[in-house]
Amino acid sequence: MANTRTVELLIAGMDCAECTRHVQRALLSVPGVATAEVFLASEKAVLQLEREQVDLAALRQAVANAGYSVPETAGPAQDSAPQAAQANLSRQVVRLTAVVLAAVLFVVVVGEWLGLLERITGLVPWPVGLLLVLAGGYPIFRNVLRAALRRQITSHTLMTLGVVAALAVGEWATAVVIVFFMRVGDYVEQFTTGRARRAVQGLAALAPQTARLLRDGEEVEVPIAEVRVGDVVVVRPGEKLPVDGDVVAGQATVDQATITGESLPVEAGPGSRVYAASLAQLGSLRVRASHVGPDTTFGRIIRLVEEAEAHRADVQRFADRFTGYYLPIVAGLAALTLIIGRDPLVAAAVLVVACSCSIALATPIAMLASIGAAARSGLLIKGGKYLETVAQADVLLIDKTGTLTLGRPQLTDVIPLDGLDEAGLLALAAAAERYSEHPLAEAVRAAARNRNLPLVEPAAFEALPGLGVHAEINGRRVTVGSRRLLAPIESPTVAGLEAQGKTLLFVGQDGQLSGILAVADTLRPEVPAALAQVRQLGIRQIELLTGDNERAAADLAGRLGVAYRANLLPEEKIAIVREYQAQGRKVVMVGDGVNDAPALAQADVGVAMGAAGTDVALEAAHVALLRDDWTLVPELFRLARRTMGVVKMNLAFTAVYNLLGLSLAAAGLLPPILAAAAQSLPDLGILANSSRLLRGGRNGRRRTTDDRRQ
């Protein structure tokens, strides 16, 4: 839509999936609103507006009519101190609620058992009881009325009918207790969603709000919104980087755990790429900004995690649809109970005990907990539906270069001949390759640097494209290159190295062969153990897809014990993905996120390696590994299966609880007062069960680090 504009609104007052649907419908009712996505975790709505004349006032009014509000101002992040205070306040509210809940239940149960409750309530005039009900339930009744005017039914609609039924038969004390537990239920739901929400919002709090710019030789501190691409930012020890960019001066140890999940810091100096929200330690830096604000890697991570709710799992969509039918069914059941038993209080108990919010919360709470915890561990998951798909996956396809391997050639073998030792042969070859720009030459020079070998300055140098180099060193003509530059040599050693897919460099002096160097794109050290864990998790079909030659692919696949297909073009990889999908298989593909982007997008779940700073990876893949660490791949499968296990437990618990509660209420065995108390408890059960995923994310991160240390 070329004539549309995007607007973001913060929404206050949402505490369940049902709330997001109400806000979405309200916003879509405003003329000129093309699309509206409402996110519970980030408490905001993202709108596409078709006309410029759609103003904020109309949108605010629509949200207010739905029973929610749009805050006047809001920053992109909050201080950790207020967050800590809010978390402490939540704990106090829960403790206080538990104490009051226990006291009220004791008074109600014991009072009714001893017959004291009727004596106490008999002393209070009915109009006073009515005022107590209206005062305590006014916010809820107001929202229910607004929803009714919009032809919407909410869980509070049913409980409000229960209050009306209790009042109609003169049971104002019962109505007061129902209202009390309605408010308690609201607090419980807010706390439940807030706990999972903080896993996501805690990421945004890590971003710095100001930056120190270098202007005319002086340092000026400005709000982050005023920083522009090309500005030079000064970062002192202990400060967080406010931008993505390249270091132009300075030296520091940088903790990039916020971006990559990697616990070990990295050394940054001139020419190094650094990322916003990373922490500078033991040094200061001057960084030229390449991406600022929401365009930084950290900003994109925040946006994608926030919007992950838009990609709902099938099980979540089922729960959402079920909730839409559940409320009318409960209302019908209550009406049937009233017709058969002619007892308004029994019908009220049926209305009150229904827990539709717990059904709606069962899936998103678990998904939010997993996605937020995974982001802190280096796994960026773009939506709950991808977690669900990974849990169902039975095929893993893997790219080779840059995915299984490091993506750059390294020297693997040094075979001296003609009286030289390994150090002498490597020093000779590195000196000859000193001015070559070929990647294989850099691999030779890097190996020499790692061994601290001195390099002789060549008196003459000649590069032979496609063949190698000639150089004059110590009065001798040194040649490094393919076998075509020297006399052919055949031996079991050469044949064995070539069978492994390695590239051979022949080193000669004055036309005589002096030794052989083997260069290869080496396998990531953690890959074999990671693939073994993937197999243990039940993924039996693992296949290597590569554009490399048959010989190199066969050697690598043989070492890893996987199937392979070689000499593939990008469109052929897509065809293989579709081939498995046509068989009804769920395909996960891991690639480097650049040349594999089409296949990653075609797969049921595409996983991009090393996505920090890679736009293509973040956009094309459904899951991004924010560091090049294969131990995150089995961690993804484990997390997905644990998450779906928690979701199924949440749904099963909620279904059984609701069925039992409705049955007892319809049979007259659960009075309205206890029904009101019972309806708020499933949310706490869902929170307790889903909280295991928050702990699991941190455990997963420690396990990953431990694996690398082994």
Structure tokens at 687: 């929170």
Q: Measure the CA–CA gap between 592 and 602, rounded to whole angstroms.
A: 15
Cβ neighbours around 391 below 10 Å, total = 20
Rg (CA), the chain: 33
Assess contact for 282 and 276: CB atoms under 8 A: no
Residue 161 · residue 179 · CB < 8 Å: no
Residue with tokens 């469109």: 571
Cα 275 to chain centroid, rounded:
18
CA dist 601 and 570 (Å) reads 12
What is the C-alpha to C-alpha distance for residues 373 and 151, in angstroms, rounded to an integer? 38
E-only strand ranges, 309-390:
379-381
> Which residue blocks in 458-524 are alpha helix, DSSP H?
492-499
Tokens representing 204 are 């945004």
Would residue 596 show up in a list of annotated catalytic residues for this protein? Answer: no
Query: Which tokens is 487 given?
Result: 């006399």
Single-letter amino acid, residue 519: V
Please state, in angstroms and rounded to a whole number, the distance separating the CA atoms of residues 710 and 695. Answer: 23
**Residue 54 and residue 633: Cα distance in Å, rounded?**
45
CA dihedral 166, 168, 170, 176 (to 10 degrees): 40
Q: Which of 399, 548, 604, 628 is catalytic?
A: 399
DSSP code per residue over 127-143 = HHHHHHHHHHHHHHHHH
474: left (phi over 0), alpha (psi -120 to 50) or beta: left
Instruction: Answer whether 416's CB lies under 8 Å from 451's CB.
Output: no
CA distances, 97 to each of 13, 186, 357 (Å): 19, 11, 19
Structure tokens at 366: 């678990």
Active-site amino acid positions = 399
